[in-house]
Amino acid sequence: MIITKNYRLREWSGGIMLVEPDSYGNCPDCGSRELKYRDYCYRICKEIDADAKSYFIISVKCEYCGRLHRILSDFMRAYGQYSSKAVRDVVAGEVSNDDVIEYPCQITMNRWKNKSNE
Ligand SMILES: [Zn+2]
């Protein structure tokens, strides 16, 4: 998994946005710059105070070590459907019930808060 701050969001099919990185960067496993485009896949990103949005994200393959990596934008999280902002807001206690469209379950929110204390 590669998380990049340098990307563009491009309208793709059916109103789904493509996360298009400016560059692929280096392989997180071996450091090689030999990353080649492989394919793209569907990804959802949930917010607490807005409807979930759909994206396509790019997968690249390292020509040196053979590992596959997906390239996420920095508002996405590696292993979670909620956005980084959603997690930050929950941890900071900045979510009011009036804003909520879709809350994560209490167990998930407790896990985010506990992780931020580590
Ligand atoms: Zn590699």
Output the tens digit of pLDDT for each of the chain's 118 residues.
Answer: 999 999 999 998 888 999 999 999 999 999 999 999 999 999 999 988 888 899 999 999 999 999 999 999 999 998 889 999 988 988 888 876 676 777 788 888 888 889 877 6
Rounded to the nearest whole angstrom, what is the distance from the C-alpha of residue 62 to the centroid of ligand 1?
Answer: 5
CA distance 8 to 80: 21
Q: How far is CA 68 from CA 17, 27, 56, 65, in A?
A: 22, 9, 16, 9
Q: How many residues does the chain have?
A: 118
Rounded to the nearest whole angstrom, what is the distance from the C-alpha of residue 103 to the centroid of ligand 1?
Answer: 37
**Domain span including residue 100:** 2-117
Chain-centre distance for alpha carbon 37: 18
Rounded to the nearest whole angstrom, what is the distance from the C-alpha of residue 37 to the centroid of ligand 1?
Answer: 13
Domains in the chain, number: 1
Rounded to the nearest whole angstrom, what is the distance from the C-alpha of residue 5 to the centroid of ligand 1?
Answer: 20
Res 118: pLDDT: 66
Res 23: pLDDT: 94
Rounded to the nearest whole angstrom, what is the distance from the C-alpha of residue 9 to the centroid of ligand 1?
Answer: 26
SS3 88: helix
SS3 9: strand
